Structure 1
Amino acid sequence: MLAIAVLCCLAVSAIADPAVYFQEDFSDGWEDRWVQSEHKADLGKFVLSHGKFYGDAEKDNGIQTSQDARFYALSAKFDKPFSNEGKTFVVQFTVKHEQSIDCGGGYVKIFPSDVDQKDMHGESPYNIMFGPDICGPGTKKVHVIFTYKGKNLLIKKDIRCKDDVFTHLYTLIVRPDNTYEVKIDNKKVESGSLEEDWDFLQPKTIKDPNAKKPEDYDERETIDDPEDVKPEEWDQPEHIADPDAKKPDDWDDEMDGEWEPPMVDNPEYKGEWKPKQIPNPSYQGKWVHPEIDNPDYEADDSLYKYADFGVIGFDLWQVKAGTIFDNVLLTDDEALAEKVGEETWGASKDAEKAMKDAQDEEEKAAREEEEKRRKEEEGDDEDELPMEDMEDLEDDEDMEEEQEHDEL
């Protein structure tokens, strides 16, 4: 019995242990773990950097886009392909747009294991795409895209991403009950049902094709008051002949035709008359098209599931380079992801902001000092007379001396 109990405990412990499918902090040797695509000759290059401001110079090193107006395509293979069947799947990483990005992606793609990493590009089939995307004032969203039966499905909700210059933690959780959650900086920003928030399936119900609104169905909320009668004096023309106009003395009816006074707006004109409205006693409400069960609807309790996850990649376009990616984690444990997030992003965020604030203060002080110096130089210039003015002043002084001498 004791042996059985020990085996049961070991089994429970094994089940409880979180699985880490992939983790990357871009420490030494990261270039050996990532493959640069050769699909295009001018793809942008990633470089190792902690950026201009950071919390820890070593721990905050990540890969940074380094060339403006370029596509980027870099990927890493998992040690072992896996499926998320029956398990929670978590994708997490940090993004830092320290360049104040105006247009560019900050997302990752999770590919099946058979993707050609050397030829990876924007059309390479993927399973999941997740992360921020910014382009101008109109696009500042978090993409959550699932591939289902060969189609890339975009989330129907609008999830706003962070658009400042600091590092932020992005987390996507996909659960085996077909629900999901999106977190930014370890705080939930969106959640719900995969079936409801994406068009995985046909709608459960459709409008009854045999149903039609009855011809005598009355949707008018108000009607004309039958007792309201237009006043007799209402009908006035919009324009009338100018009563103050006079035929010119030199007007010749035979030569110029019959004279007619010009038209002017009629002050008595009241516009089109309309009877007042009263509630419609026959109003039946807005007609609602009845729905029926959709015969093409097929339930699927495995929308969340992918049989093969094998590669993660950054497949991006950036107009202005400078984005830093770091702290990539793929796991089946939500609590572990949150813990790792606090130990990485959470441990550096305050120090990163403090360094940025200090740099801003230094730059502000330098600008003020430069402005002060410039004004002082301009002031000195105003005190000094130009050479020609100095010569005129000397001539005036000579003339004054001559006049004093003549008077003596």
Structure 2
Amino acid sequence: MVAGLKIVIVGSGPAGMYAAGAIVKKNPESVIDIVDKLATPYGLVRAGVAPDHQTTKNVTRAYDKVMENDNVRFVGNIGLGDDIPLDKLRDLYDVVIIATGTPKDRNLGIPGEDKDGVFGAQTFVYWYNGHPEYRDAVPNLDITTAVVIGNGNVALDAARILMRTEEEMAHSDLADHAATEIFNSPLQSVHVVGRRAPENAQFSSKELSEFGDLTSAKTYTDKTNLPEEFISEDKKETKVVNTNLDLLRSFEQIGPGIKGRSVHLDFLASPIEVMGDTSITGVRFERNEIVDGKAVGTGETYDIDCQLLVSCIGYEMGILEGLPVEKGIVKNDEGCIADGLYVVGWAKRGPSGTIGTNRIDSQNVVDRILGDFDTGGNPDKAGPAGLDQWCQDRNIRAVSFDDWKKINAAEIDRAGDQSPRRKFVRTRDMLSLLKEGS
């Protein structure tokens, strides 16, 4: 058994929580601080999972159990870089684990994407989920047409949330400010456009099936683009793709003269220009064909007039002081960045897989850490006491897990009978609540 280590995990999302859980199980003598820049834990589960997918959020019950261990602390409202530098964390702890995810949208790389009305998926999703840093990144939803780029679940989330009615979202935790904009919007149509063919789309069948249940909008696609059958050497892939193709066949055939609210699932097209002066007025697309398994432009173009564009083409790691970033992730060797410095989750491997994918990934990195520290840690490291002193000296108000329980209870109390919670969307309001209750 490795002697107890002093470990700090930066980020309390799924990857960080699974890492903490693995350490508790495999090296219960260690002490673990889970540091997060937000006053609320669980990262992507709170800020990324769609507000109408409450079942997915139940995973936090397992994370709560990890947090209840005596050797685990949540230390919220402390940002890496802004409040404490990475070098200081490395001085205080035997092990630093980076679990920040990939908090930067990939650029489309086309002219005009800097115009007003163009948003990356992270900005848009964090806005409607009530992330404090994106509370005021309000898109103008006094619009009639929106375009969503991408053929993954995030693209479907964005389109679905835009077209849900207030009644459909009654049991969600959609942030109040976003609900006001969405439900009062005159939006009539959303185009979800992917560059590859329908059989290459990365969305899940469950996500796709929800478009058949929208109460105020019909879903359309071009069924002439659908292959009769998809066959792969991977039986699981074959089943998923053919289920998706059957769902696409169940939607309406797109055609001229569509009236009423509508969602258009379009394939084989790539955006090449965002049109307009300072604000978006439309998007120009080039039609594609599949050549040797790749989407290749044909030279034929068409335009979609719109006033909102949400780009859902993936995420990457931004520049963070002290971390080597390469090809959108933190450069690492099976999770090891440098002596005593490790990375897990999307920051390690890129934005892929589901929430559960992070479990095995984090467990493997923990095994690597315990192997690297088989002789134990440095008894001279200050660990949690050193972090507390750092915060005290700089008047940083850290948020504990008990503090989070108070915030959580208040959000639930505010919600009423139907919604699971009514979120606080400003950190200052959360801290004021804690001050009042102290």
The two structures share one fold, judged by TM-score above 0.5: no
The higher radius of gyration belongs to 1
Q: Which has the higher helix share?
A: 2
The normalised TM-score by structure 1 is: 0.20
